[in-house]
Amino acid sequence: GAVVSQHPSRVICKSGTSVKIECRSLDFQATTMFWYRQFPKKSLMLMATSNEGSKATYEQGVEKDKFLINHASLTLSTLTVTSAHPEDSSFYICSAEGQGFTGELFFGEGSRLTVL
C-alpha cells in the first residue's frame, strides 16, 4: 500500500528557534499533501493544502508566515515552524494523495513538537 514517512517523529526545541518537519511519499507520487495539527484527544485541524510546484493554500486562521510549507517535488513536502513558541507545541500530521485518486488519504506517523 501507499506509505507516507514523516520525520522527525519527536522534536524538542527552544522558544524562538525554527523547526522543519519532512513528509515523504515513499512508493507513490503525491500530487497533493495536507498538513494537520492535532491537540491532545482532539480531532485533526487542517492547516494547509500543498500542491507540487505551487504555493500552499492555508486554512483560515493559520499564519502562513509562521507555518511555512514547501512542496518542491512529488514525493516531498516540508513544514517549517518559524520562531516557535510553547503554544506551537502539538502533534503535526501530514497526509498525501496520489495520482489516480482513490478517495482516501495516506497519513504519516506524525511529529510531536515540544517547544520549551
Regarding 105 and contact with other proteins (CB under 8 A), the answer is: yes
Give the one residue of 43, 60, 86, 100 binding other proteins; rule: CB under 8 A.
Answer: 43
Give the one residue of 81, 93, 113, 115 binding other proteins; rule: CB under 8 A.
Answer: 93
93: number of Cβ within 10 Å: 21
- Tell me the CA distances in angstroms from 27 to 7, 14, 81, 101, 114, one per residue in order: 16, 34, 27, 15, 30
* Nearest-approach distance from CB 63 to other proteins, in angstroms: 19
Q: Are strands 10-13 and 111-115 parallel, antiparallel or unpaired?
A: parallel
Nearer to other proteins, 14 or 41 (CB): 41
Count of residues interacting with other proteins (CB under 8 A)? 22
Query: C-alpha 6: how far from its chain's center?
Result: 8
* Nearest-approach distance from CB 43 to other proteins, in angstroms: 5
Query: C-alpha 26: how far from its chain's center?
Result: 15
Bridge partners (DSSP) listed for residue 111: 92
Regarding 95 and contact with other proteins (CB under 8 A), the answer is: yes
- Residues within the interface to other proteins (CB under 8 A): 4, 6, 34, 41-44, 46, 49, 91, 93, 95, 101, 103-110, 112
